[in-house]
Every structure is written in structure tokens, then in C-alpha cells.
Structure 1
Amino acid sequence: MKKAIIVGGGISGLAAAYLLQKQAKAADIELDVTLLEKEERLGGKIWSIKADGYLCEWGPNGFLDSKPQTLDLCRDLEASGQLLRSNDNARKRFIYSGGILNRLPENGPSFLKSKLISWPGKLRLAMEPFIPPYAAAEDETLAAFGRRRLGEEALQKLIAPMVSGIFAGNPETMSLVSCFPRIAELERDYGSLVKAMIKLAKKKKQDIASGKVVASAAGPGGVLTSFRDGIQTLTDILAERLGPATIVSGQAVTGLTNGSSAPFRLRTATIDIDADVVILASPAYATADILEAIAPEMVTVLREIPYASMTVVCFGYERERISYDLNGFGYLIPKEEGMNTLGTLWDSSIFENRAPAGRVLLRSMLGGACFPEYVTLSDEEVIRRVRADLQAAMAITAEPSFIRIFRHAQAIPQYTAGHGRRLAALDEQLANHPGLFLTGNSYRGIGLNDCVAAANRTADAVVTYLKSR
């Protein structure tokens, strides 16, 4: 019987372990799978914390239903019945600019009426179809792309807040093709984003007329989906399915070397385990530490992947003390506005069961790549800054009756310019270590859907590798 070790008990490691067991069984491969997690708690950055009737997400709050992998996993786990789609009001998203919350326009007429972008900015956007496609060989940053195709104002008020909301990133350093490969693909294939939208809209109408199934247009890229008891439900179910025979928690891997009875030997503080296959589902910086002895050439590349810090702040209020509508998803704030927070999500408006009756839950984010020092602020200073921004954006002067602060020193990997080159180098170097695999959000997508998709690809690759031995 072959032995596979998975390092990391977040969604990437749990999904990889579950899918590997399933696919190995289908391929008639006898495989013993063990997952090692350094913390006693499983789930990684997925953690749904319940307190005083509130449900606070420590990390991500869901996934978009526009991609099949996570939905397929939920069906396989018989968890589909527990899924909770976000309120349709979550389609309404806002940008704070000019002292007010401006709703993001969803179509041409609403864009023309919107005060978010000035008329000179709108005219610059209208020039987009006439801008030639990018022809240079170097990896273009999101900021360079935004200025070139859409103009400075659109970069500041549309692209930069989106980048901070998704990646907590700085558009001046982030790679377009690594962060948003579909946008780079549209420019390459159609020569213009506007031309691409027109042609794709025409194709969608043709598909509808011919009876083909068309993805839902509700919300950006699909409908945000979670579970009634929080997104941790997914990792809890995975951990339960894997069981104590597979999962060993509280065991931090301190190193990886060549084994004696198998190709690899993993070392922890208390045990050594030999394995035929090793899947590292740990963050890039932790993976680098593990590989120092066996793959120093990979360590250098892995340590070039930076992480942004983040502070997440949950405030609970009596609903009657907030005069603002709260009918929507929440808002993001351009850096040029000089505010403290990156934005605030109206969690109790997005999903039911996030606050007690008659109360609301707001979740604000501070820090990110542009303000790394914010993660060291005291609780008092964090509360003061968040309250100041909420007062400016939504005229909230009441003191919150519920407060939780979560700090992430290394929250989100940053796909900076050159990320594609780093991935190519890692792939080349992995070829020198057959049986070693990397997965997780450090590489080809940071979202929950991306992690599940990567886990699926990794399980496929492991089964193919074992078949060839």
C-alpha cells in the first residue's frame, strides 16, 4: 500500500485529502492518506465564530456559485441542502467617493447617471474600444492596465477598490494576468473589453434563443453562497468525513527529507513519517520552511510570494440606532479618500442568521498591502478608526453593542508582477522531485472555488503519478 501525506488542514488540504481518497479508490489504488495540521483546530482561515447571537466570519464568508467545483464538492458531501444563497439585495454594491456611497452601475444607463465617475472620466472610458491591445512582453500590473485602457479615474474608483476588496492588494504591484486572467484573455481575444462585452452579450442572447443554459447574471460573477451556520460548515463536514484515522492535528511539520523506506520523510516535533507522495497545502512561506533541506531552489521562489496583512472588525448594532438603509452588500473605499478602512460589508444584509433579531452585523477591513502597519494597531485605535469611517460613510454615531477584532498578519497571498514566472519556475523545479505536489491559494487563485479546483487538479495529478509507478 502506498502512503500519501498532506500538510495543511485548511480548505485546500481537507479537500485534497477527501478528493484523493475518492479518486484513488475509483482507480483501484490502495492508498493510505494522512493529513497533518499544526493547529488543533481545522479549517485554516475558514472559521465561523458564534457569539452573543452573532455569526462572525474570521476569514472568507462564502463562494460564488458561478464555478462548479465547490458546488460539486457540496453535492458529493451531501451538503447541498445546507447551502445558503445570499440575499438578492447583495447585488447592490457601493463605492465611497465624494462624501457619499455611490452604487456601482450595472448597465449603460445607470453608468451614465452615476455620479461616481465624472464626465471627463466617462469620456475617457468611452475611448476604451480605440485603445490598442497590450503588446509588450513583460507582466503588466493592474494599475498599468487600468490607466492604459480605462483612465486614471476609473483606476482609482473602480479597479483599485476591487483589488483591495478581493486581494487586499496594491494595484501598482499586482499582476493582471495572474489576478484576473479572464480580463487579460478578453483583451487578447477581442482587442477591447467593450467589444468583448458586446459580442458576449450577443452570444448570450443567441444561447437563450436556442434554449441553451446560461449562467445566472445575479451579482458579479454569480451568487455569493455560504451555509446557514457559516462557511466553516464545509470544512467541518470534510473533517468529519475524513475522520481521526486520516487527520492528525497539533503536529507541525518541521522539515522534509529523503526517506529510507519511501521517497520522502516528514518530520514533526514528535514523529517521523515516510511517504510515497507529499502534498503541501500550506501557505507559501510555511512551504518554504518545510522544503529547505530537500528543495532549496524552490525555497527562494516561494519566499518571493508576499502576503498582505488584514484586520477584520465585526460591529453589532441595534437596527433602530442606524438610519442608513443597509439594503445591499456593502461598500469599498478608494485609497485617495484618505479613510482608514478598505471597506465594510453589511453581513446581516447579505446572509440571514448573522445577527439576532432587531440587530445588524457590519464587518470592516483594515490594512492590506497599502497599509501593512495597521495590523499592529491597538484594539482601541482600531475601534476608533472604524467608528470614524462608519460615521463618515453612513452617519453612524452610535456605539456598537458587539465588537470582535480578528488580526491576520499574513492574510492573503499577493500575485505581484512576475507571479507567472515564479509559478513556471516552481513547476520546473517540481519535476526534479517526483511525488511532491503543491496546492493552495498561494499559486493560481485565492478564492474558495480556486482552492477546491486546485485540490481537484492535485488529486488527479497524484493518481496519474501513482498509476505510472
Structure 2
Amino acid sequence: MELLDTLIVGAGISGLSLAHALHKEATSASPLKILVAESQGRVGGNITTVTADGFLWEEGPNSFSPTPELMKLAVDVGLKQELIFADRKLPRYVYWQKKLQPVPMTPPAMIQSQLLSFPGKLRALFGALGFVAPAMGAGLSQQRDEETVSQFFRRHLGTEVMQRLVEPFVSGVYAGDPQQLSAAAAFGRVAKMADLGGGLMAGALLSARKRPKQMPADPNVPKTRPGELGSFKQGLKALPEAIAAQLGDRVKLNWHLTRLDRTERETYIAVFSTPNGQQEVEARTVVLTTPAYVTAGLLQPLQPEVSSALQAFTYPTVACVVLAYPQSDVKGKLVGFGNLIPRGQGIRTLGTIWTSSLFADRAPAGWQTLSSYIGGATDSEIGNLDSEQIVREVHRDLSRILLKPDVPQPKVLAVNVWKRAIPQYNLGHFDRLQQIDRGLKSLPGVYLCSNYVGGVALGDCVRRGFDRAREVGEYLQNKQSDTRSE
């Protein structure tokens, strides 16, 4: 049995980014033996790009913020000319009191916004300046002094900002419940700013001063501006497919990991179910990029403490519903990123991305594609509906917000029900991560790299993959040095 340097379980964007970084850093004099094992018949994980009848749509993530790591990765795998970006000036909307209200993105826009009342704006201003009551109370003590997202933003910026801006944002990113999500975990940068400056505005200024100087920009990487969202001409799947193409036969599809054992020489034996029967692989290091509930089962025999912490992560059900309408059925021309809907507005859908307005060539001429998300932590019942029922719910909501009266049924492009969609960074998140870190000390060479740690966005996944690659590389170098010194 050939001994691998690194076995990566999962060919989502985290695992592929990690494999790319390891492969790139290896030298011809010291190549690394890497294997990426994926249980599905394709790479990309939750990235699900589909094309049919002149339409192109996403059923998982829809776009990415162009972080430096992600942009560098795209260029490295030959996708520079395939990058596309939405106009950052396109407005975002919140549906409030039966109207689409643009989200204020600048101080002048905040002043003029009709989304917040005058008292609500004053409350937010005073809170941002630091006139904030301390976090206290019996409820907080029971939470071990950890604030929920709802508690944190109500305390700092007031109820209106919480309900009309933060809550719909939480629905859009996490499909989460702001009364359960940890502010420090889900909004780490904002929470740190508040701690640093006493108020969000002072904290932002101090954070900017303390921010380390950025390295000179790579001239080969396209420059982007804040607020832009990116994709590729052929959709997001272009990135994982390009990485996998470079890795070649190091990527194995339809390989399902059934057992992981540790050997006496501190390596690991992985047993896979494959199309060619059972396969065993031995590796010096193993990186599990699988969801928390899958990883929990794999590590239960090796490290029950880690498994227990992983089992505590919750993943609510979310349905992605992609519907197409003739442009004549839509109220006017949709110009913008899309709309989010706070709870309590009589609308069940969490939000809708105006897909064919965001990127060109995503729909045939005369058609509008709308990608809606429904369910999440505050609507667990969505998992009990069938596809037709879910389409009816979304079509009814769209009819109230974006469509003309009495439009016929839409062209249904997709109803993808993600039974376990997005990991929730709920209260106790950091305690769970500490428990995981403690337990992993007894499993040297085993690493976890998934979106239940350090952010759920695509850019977070790429950055995390690069970070883990450095840790794995250092571990392998140290082990090699220890072997030579013996």
C-alpha cells in the first residue's frame, strides 16, 4: 500500500483549495503525494451550476465576494478571462410594509432612507457613536455572557436596524435565527470593533489604523472594488472543475469514506467504498472537509469528544427555488441584486436574487430568472412540503412583491431542497471549537476544514483551505525532520 502525504476527504471548494495549495507549494525535488476523495460523482460540493434551454442558474451559492485568496486561485487555475462581476452600484432591497426599500449603503443614503424612521435613525447614530448600555442581565448570565445577534444589534443600533436590516441579512447569509446565532461568531469583525472602541464607529476607525499594511497587489490578478460580486461566465462550477482538472488523477469521485483508523506509526488507514469495490489508503495526514454531522460519525471511534462537539452543530433545511417569468409578467425592469424579506411581513420566502439582472447571459431574451430561498432556522416546516407546494409558496410571495397581478404559473427551472444547508454559528460556538481543538491534539495529523469554522462564504472556504495547507505542510516538514534526526 502506497503511503500518501495527505488524504483530503471531500472535493468541495475547501478541499480543492487546500489540495491546490499543497500541490503548488510542493517542489519537483520534494513532491507531495496527495489524494482527494469525493463521495459524489462530481466536484464542487454545494456549488451546483445548471444550464438548460438557454438558462444558467445556481442551486447553491450564487456568487462570491472577490477576496484576495479567491481571486488569486481563479487566476492560478486559468480562469482570469472567465471572471465576471456585477455592477457594485446595483441596489439591494428589503421588502418592508409592502414596499421594496433600497438598503442604505452610505451615510447620506441612511439619512434619506424611508426604511428607518427618524427616531430609528437617531437611535442607530447614537449607538454607533458609542452611547450603548453595557451587556448585562439574567438572560445573558445564563448564556455565559455571550450575546445573540439580536441582543447585540438591538443594544448597539436599536430595534429598527435589527429588524429591518440585520435580520434579513442573517436570513440571506445563514438562513439563521438571530435569537440563536452568536454575535461574536457570526459577526466577528463587528463584535471586535465594538469591543475595541466602545462603539461601532470608533471601533471601525481604530481597526482601520491597526490593520496591517497590505502586500503589493499581484499585477496578474484583476483589481476589484468593495461591494462587487463575482462569478464566472459558465457559472461558479468553473472554479472547482478547473482546480480538479489541474489535480488530475489525484481526485477520485464516488469514493465514500466508511472508516478511519490510526496505526501504531502515527499514520491513518482510510477505508473507502468505491465503484471498484473496497479501497484502503494510508496517509501521514488526513484533512476532513466534510460537514460536521458526517465528520462526527467518522471520528466517533477515534475521538468521542470531538465527535460530540461536531454533533452539536445544526444545519436547517433550505430550499432553492429557481423560477423564470416572461419579462412582461414583472413589475417594471428589475435593476438590482435582489431583495430580502424580514420576518413578520406576511412573506414566507427569505429572499430572492434577481439572477438575470445580476449577471449577463443567464436567461434568454425577454425572460427574467429569480432564485428564491425559503425555509431556514425559523421555518423548519419547509422540509415537509413537496416541490409543487414549495413552488406555490414562492410564486405567491413573488406575486406580492415583484410580479404583476394574476400572472400565470412560472417556468420552474429547479427546486433543490437542501435538507442540511448551512451550519449555524449559534450560542456556544467557540466552546464547541475549543472542545474540537482539545480533542484533535490526541490525533496528530488529522485536520478539519469545513464551513462550520471561520465563515460560510466561498472566500472564507478558499482562505481556510490555504491556511490548513500551510499547517499540513509544516506538520509534514517537522515529521520529515524528526525522521532524519533519528
TM-score, normalization by structure 1: 0.92
Shift of 1:452: 0.6
**1:357 and 2:365 matched:** yes
Q: 1:260 to 1:271 in 2, by over 3 A?
A: farther
Instruction: Give the fraction of aligned pairs with identical amino acids, expressed as a percent.
Output: 34
Q: Please, which of 458, 463, 468 is the counterpart of residue 473 of structure 2?
A: 463
**1:450 and 2:460 matched:** yes
**1:393 and 2:381 matched:** no
Write out per-residue CA displacement over residues 310-368 of structure 1, whole angstroms, 9 at most, x where no aligned residue: 10111111212223331101110011112110011101111112111221111111001
Q: Please, which of 417, 428, 437 is the counterpart of residue 438 of structure 2?
A: 428
State the distance in 1 between where 2:119 and 2:30 align: 63
Shift of 1:87: 2.9
State the distance in 2 between where 1:161 and 1:361 align: 21
Contact 2:306–2:439, Cα closer than 8 Å, also in 1:
yes
Q: 1:140 to 1:29 in 2, by over 3 A?
A: farther
Q: 1:320 to 1:338 in 2, by over 3 A?
A: closer
Following superposition of structure 1 onto structure 2, how do residues 172-187 of structure 1 map, counting pairs within 5 Å? 172-187=179-194
State the distance in 2 between where 1:366 and 1:22 align: 40
**1:254 and 2:258 matched:** yes
Aligned-partner SS, 1:362? strand
Contact 2:4–2:35, Cα closer than 8 Å, also in 1:
no
Contact 2:168–2:350, Cα closer than 8 Å, also in 1:
yes
State the distance in 2 between where 1:70 and 1:468 align: 28
Following superposition of structure 1 onto structure 2, how do residues 327-406 of structure 1 map, counting pairs within 5 Å? 327-396=335-404, 397-398=406-407, 399-406=409-416
Q: Residue type of the partner of 2:69? A: Q
State the distance in 1 between where 2:224 and 2:10 align: 35
Contact 1:87–1:349, Cα closer than 8 Å, also in 2:
no
Q: 1:199 to 1:431 in 2, by over 3 A?
A: closer
**1:7 and 2:9 matched:** yes
Structure 2 residues without counterparts, runs of 5 or longer: 214-221, 480-486
**1:16 and 2:15 matched:** no
Following superposition of structure 1 onto structure 2, how do residues 184-223 of structure 1 map, counting pairs within 5 Å? 184-196=191-203, 221-223=226-228
Aligned-partner SS, 1:84? strand
State the distance in 1 between where 2:433 and 2:388 align: 41
The residue that corresponds to 2:85 in the other structure is: 85
State the distance in 1 between where 2:210 and 2:445 align: 43
Shift of 1:395: 3.5
Write out per-residue CA displacement over residues 211-246 of structure 1, whole angstroms, 9 at most, x where no aligned residue: xxxx9995xx531111011000001101111112x1
**1:408 and 2:412 matched:** no
State the distance in 2 between where 1:461 and 1:374 align: 40
Contact 1:255–1:293, Cα closer than 8 Å, also in 2:
no
Q: Residue type of the partner of 1:232? A: K
Q: Residue type of the partner of 1:263? A: T
Following superposition of structure 1 onto structure 2, how do residues 15-94 of structure 1 map, counting pairs within 5 Å? 15-25=17-27, 29-65=30-66, 67-90=67-90, 92-94=91-93
Write out per-residue CA displacement over residues 17-65 of structure 1, whole angstroms, 9 at most, x where no aligned residue: 1111222338x54421111111111111001100111111010112112
Q: 1:110 to 1:199 in 2, by over 3 A?
A: farther
Aligned-partner SS, 1:382? helix
Aligned-partner SS, 2:155? helix
State the distance in 2 between where 1:163 and 1:375 align: 20
State the distance in 2 between where 1:305 and 1:152 align: 28
Write out per-residue CA displacement over residues 418-445 of structure 1, whole angstroms, 9 at most, x where no aligned residue: 1111112211211111110110111111
Deviates more, 1:261-270 or 1:457-466: 261-270
**1:264 and 2:265 matched:** no
State the distance in 1 between where 2:364 and 2:227 align: 28
Contact 1:89–1:329, Cα closer than 8 Å, also in 2:
no
Aligned-partner SS, 1:31? coil
Following superposition of structure 1 onto structure 2, how do residues 99-118 of structure 1 map, counting pairs within 5 Å? 99-118=98-117
State the distance in 2 between where 1:216 and 1:139 align: 38
Shift of 1:126: 2.7
Q: 1:261 to 1:429 in 2, by over 3 A?
A: closer
State the distance in 2 between where 1:268 and 1:197 align: 49
Deviates more, 1:117-126 or 1:52-61: 117-126
TM-score, normalization by structure 2: 0.89
Shift of 1:143: 0.6
Shift of 1:261: 6.7
Contact 2:148–2:182, Cα closer than 8 Å, also in 1:
yes
Contact 1:23–1:459, Cα closer than 8 Å, also in 2:
no
Aligned-partner SS, 2:50? strand
State the distance in 2 between where 1:133 and 1:21 align: 49
Write out per-residue CA displacement over residues 374-415 of structure 1, whole angstroms, 9 at most, x where no aligned residue: 023122211211111111112334231343111100110111
The residue that corresponds to 2:159 in the other structure is: 152
Aligned-partner SS, 1:121? helix
Contact 1:133–1:192, Cα closer than 8 Å, also in 2:
no
Write out per-residue CA displacement over residues 160-205 of structure 1, whole angstroms, 9 at most, x where no aligned residue: 110010111111011111111110111112211133456789999x
**1:165 and 2:167 matched:** no
Following superposition of structure 1 onto structure 2, how do residues 263-342 of structure 1 map, counting pairs within 5 Å? 263-269=267-273, 270-342=278-350
Aligned-partner SS, 1:145? helix
Aligned-partner SS, 2:368? strand
Structure 1 residues without counterparts, runs of 5 or longer: 208-214
**Aligned positions, number:** 455
**1:230 and 2:235 matched:** yes
State the distance in 2 between where 1:401 and 1:33 align: 44
Q: Residue type of the partner of 2:466? A: N
Write out per-residue CA displacement over residues 89-124 of structure 1, whole angstroms, 9 at most, x where no aligned residue: 53x001001111001112233222222112232232
Deviates more, 1:92-101 or 1:369-378: 369-378
